[in-house]
């Protein structure tokens, strides 16, 4: 007597399921920054949002007269600066304007990209295992938020100290740290 054993295998095509997971995940975005409507108390008589304030510090502060000269719509009779010059000033600041750029978001994320990338890999793993990636996306957003908030006091930011005039006025040589409102306004959102 002999017996025959047969091995039966079945293949299930999960390509469409995988495509749905990847497509769904590709629509998700994690944003770190300051939402445009984030109000702050009026600064020197001008209402300005925290988003606008962070933008200004990222590109360098401009005196109103100089901003007007750079705005081609201003009817000042002066020729506006070229786009190339404007781009250079925004990227590098200007000693003439006495305020260097102090970028926050991009360099903070870049400086912490390994930790954030590791968390984003976990997002993919959870999604591919059939789990809900939303909690992991929130953790990635929180990592980005904390990296940006920490950048204000991180020596790796390379920011020059406040000018002596600013230091005397506010009593500190630490740039962008007065009330902490700007730093606390940085948050994250998950969309998609």
Give 62-114 pLDDT, tens digit per residue: 555 555 544 444 455 555 555 445 444 544 556 565 667 788 888 999 999 99
Contacts of residue 95, defined as CB under 8 A and 6 or more positions apart, other chains included, come to none
Is the pTM for the entire model greater than 0.75? no
pLDDT digits (tens, 9 = 90+) for 176-187: 787 787 888 889
23 or 142: whose pLDDT is higher? 142
Q: For 120, phi and psi rounded to 5 degrees?
A: -65, -35
């Amino acid at each position: 007597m002999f017996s025959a054993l047969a091995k039966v295998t079945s293949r299930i095509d999960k390509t469409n399921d995988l495509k749905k997971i990847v497509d769904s995940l590709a629509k998700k975005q994690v944003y770190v920054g300051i939402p445009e409507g984030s109000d702050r108390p009026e600064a020197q008589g001008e209402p300005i949002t925290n988003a606008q304030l962070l933008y200004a510090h990222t590109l360098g502060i401009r005196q109103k007269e100089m901003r007007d000269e750079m705005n081609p719509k201003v009817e000042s009779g002066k020729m506006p600066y070229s786009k190339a010059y404007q781009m250079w000033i925004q990227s590098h600041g200007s000693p003439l304007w006495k305020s260097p750029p102090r970028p926050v978001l991009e360099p903070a994320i870049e400086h912490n990209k390994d930790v954030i990338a590791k968390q984003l890999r976990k997002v993919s793993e959870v999604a591919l295992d059939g789990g809900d990636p939303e909690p992991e996306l929130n953790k990635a957003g929180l990592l980005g938020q904390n990296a940006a908030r920490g950048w204000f006091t991180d020596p790796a930011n390379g920011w020059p100290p406040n000018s002596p005039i600013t230091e005397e006025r506010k009593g500190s040589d630490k740039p962008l740290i007065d009330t902490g409102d700007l730093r606390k306004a940085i948050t994250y959102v998950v969309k998609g």
